[in-house]
Amino acid sequence: MSHRNKVIPKNANDYFYFQALSSSTVCDNFDCGISEYNDYLVNDALRSMNDHIALTWLLTERATGRIAAYMSLEHCIRSIRSLLIVT
């Protein structure tokens, strides 16, 4: 049986971090179980970002570097960029 850590808001930064999708990000191994979502991340998300249609953020596991989840936010990109501070 594998050991699982309980991730709560208080310790989430110990296990995960957010990063913006970039041209150097490797997404080929991401699989959320929904082929359309996988396909969007691998084939369309970066194009959407370059075309100023959507911003994509990745939730990445600190221990493995694997993408655990992602979110793409469409529209209002100028407002979102001005609010986000990346460290």
Extents of the domains making up the chain: 12-83
What's the CATH superfamily of 12-83?
Answer: Gcn5-related N-acetyltransferase (GNAT) (3.40.630.30)
How big, in percent rounded to 5, are the helix, strand and coil portions of the chain?
A: 30, 25, 45
Mean of all residue pLDDT scores within the chain:
85
pTM of the complete model beyond 0.85: no
**67, 74 contact by CB (below 8 A):** no
Average pLDDT over residues 4-10: 80
**Cβ neighbours of residue 27 under 8 Å, at least 6 residues apart?**
21, 41, 42, 45, 58, 67
Could you report the per-residue pLDDT of 12-30, keeping only the tens digit for each? 899 999 999 999 999 988 9
Q: Are 30 and 41 in contact (CB under 8 A)?
A: yes
Phi, psi of 39 (to 5 degrees): -60, -40
Separation between Cα atoms, residue 20 and residue 17, nearest integer Å: 10
Output 14 or 83, whichever has higher pLDDT: 14
